């Protein structure tokens, strides 16, 4: 199996909306489909850590705009990520994968606290580790938490699952002439203001040379194709030559 995979350890970042199907909340069928996609990669012997957003239930920045204290709104969002993580854990265990949820905010009856060495040990034992509650700090997105955990756990790549098949220079839904990038450098993505990840997350990846692949999770087999080294989505890395 080892010869069939390009990466040994990955961090997969899912948005909360990815679990919601076409609407608000959690769509059980969508969650099961995602779990099945992860299982195909797990079967290759890949060590998988995951970070899931909470936007299908609550968005801290949007809530703050209505007058709720921003820190309070962000903490509520962290709890939303825990709910999503527990649902995903249940789905993956039903697919036969041993899974652990670790939270940045301690809640022992629900999940383990995040302890880096324990998380690494789970990965080494072939368990999927879902990292919930973001970084545990308000004003930081789950994208930033994903970048942080990817670096902490020595992942080889951060996989950002979206609803489009990569990074474009404009919104491909609104602009049919939007150009897709197969590869792009960190600084180019930052300077162009592309909505890959927020600038804090992107800068953290840049500073620690953590490659990012942005891909469409709704495309069946895309995740497995990336693990096998096939070109899929958009690669963000330092090795991409920046335009002069």
Q: Is 72 annotated as a binding residue?
A: no
Q: Is 16 annotated as a binding residue?
A: yes
Handedness of CA 131, 52, 74, 237 (dihedral sign): positive
Q: Is 181 annotated as a binding residue?
A: no
**Dist. CA 220–CA 194, nearest whole Å:** 25
Q: Is 141 annotated as a binding residue?
A: yes
- Report yes or no: 130 and 88 within 8 Å, Cβ to Cβ: yes
Residue 186's pLDDT band, with cuts at 50, 70 and 90, is: very high
Q: Which of 51 and 244 is assigned the larger pLDDT? A: 51
Nearest CA-CA partner of 46 in 130, 155, 152, 121: 155
Instruction: Find where tokens 């995602």 sit.
Output: 34
**Dist. CA 86–CA 224, nearest whole Å:** 23
Residue 243's pLDDT band, with cuts at 50, 70 and 90, is: low
Residue 242 pLDDT: 58
Residue 58, pLDDT > 80, answer yes
Nearest CA-CA partner of 207 in 232, 187, 180: 187
Residue 244, pLDDT > 60, answer no
Q: Is 195 annotated as a binding residue?
A: no
Q: What does residue 104 show for φ and ψ, rounded to 5 degrees? A: -75, -20
- Could you report the per-residue pLDDT of 12-55, keeping only the tens digit for each? 999 988 888 766 789 999 999 999 999 999 999 999 999 999 98
Helix (H) or strand (E) holding 148: helix 142-152
**Dist. CA 126–CA 129, nearest whole Å:** 9
- Could you report the per-residue pLDDT of 80-95, keeping only the tens digit for each? 999 999 999 999 999 9
Residue 1, pLDDT > 50, answer no
Residue 162's pLDDT band, with cuts at 50, 70 and 90, is: confident
Q: Is 237 annotated as a binding residue?
A: no
- In sequence order, the β-bridge partners of residue 159 are 12, 213
Burial label, 244 (beta-carbon count in 10 A; 0-12, 13-18, 19+): exposed
Q: Is 177 annotated as a binding residue?
A: no
| CATH number, domain 2-236, options 3.40.50.720, 3.40.140.10, 3.40.1160.10, 3.30.43.10 | 3.40.1160.10
Q: Is 136 annotated as a binding residue?
A: yes
Q: Is 12 annotated as a binding residue?
A: no
Q: Is 25 annotated as a binding residue?
A: no
Q: Is 21 annotated as a binding residue?
A: no
Residue 122 pLDDT: 98
Helix (H, G, I), strand (E, B) or coil at 155: coil
Q: Is 169 annotated as a binding residue?
A: no
Residue 178 pLDDT: 87
Residue 116 pLDDT: 98
Q: Is 199 annotated as a binding residue?
A: no
- Could you report the per-residue pLDDT of 219-231, keeping only the tens digit for each? 889 999 999 999 9
Question: What's the predicted TM-score (pTM) here?
Answer: 0.93
Q: Is 175 annotated as a binding residue?
A: no
Say how many C-beta atoms besides its own lie within 10 A of residue 74's C-beta: 23
The tokens of 3 are what? 């010869």
Give the start-to-end residue ranges of the domains of the chain: 2-236
Q: Is 137 annotated as a binding residue?
A: yes
Residue 50 pLDDT: 98
């Amino acid at each position: 199996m080892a010869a069939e995979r390009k990466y040994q350890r990955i961090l997969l970042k899912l948005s909360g909306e990815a679990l919601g199907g076409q609407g608000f909340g959690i769509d059980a069928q969508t969650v099961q489909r995602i779990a099945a996609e992860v299982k195909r990669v797990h079967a290759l012997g890949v060590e998988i850590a995951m970070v899931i957003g909470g936007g299908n239930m609550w968005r801290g920045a949007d809530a703050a705009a209505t007058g709720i204290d921003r820190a309070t709104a962000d903490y509520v969002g962290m709890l939303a990520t825990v709910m999503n993580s527990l649902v995903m854990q249940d789905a993956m265990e039903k697919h036969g994968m041993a899974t652990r949820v670790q939270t940045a905010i301690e809640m022992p009856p629900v999940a383990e606290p995040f302890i880096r060495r324990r998380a690494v040990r789970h990965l080494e034992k072939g368990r999927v580790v879902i990292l919930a509650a973001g970084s545990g700090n308000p004003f930081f997105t789950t994208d930033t938490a994903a970048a942080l955990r990817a670096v902490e756990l020595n992942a080889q790549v951060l996989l950002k699952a979206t609803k489009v098949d990569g990074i474009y220079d404009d919104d491909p839904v609104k602009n049919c002439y939007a150009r897709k990038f197969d590869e792009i450098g960190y600084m180019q993505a930052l300077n162009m203001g592309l909505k890959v990840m927020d600038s804090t997350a992107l800068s953290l990846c840049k500073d620690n040379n953590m490659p990012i692949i942005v891909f469409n999770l709704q495309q069946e087999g895309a995740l497995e194709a990336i693990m096998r080294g096939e070109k899929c989505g958009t690669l963000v890395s330092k090795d991409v030559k920046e335009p002069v």
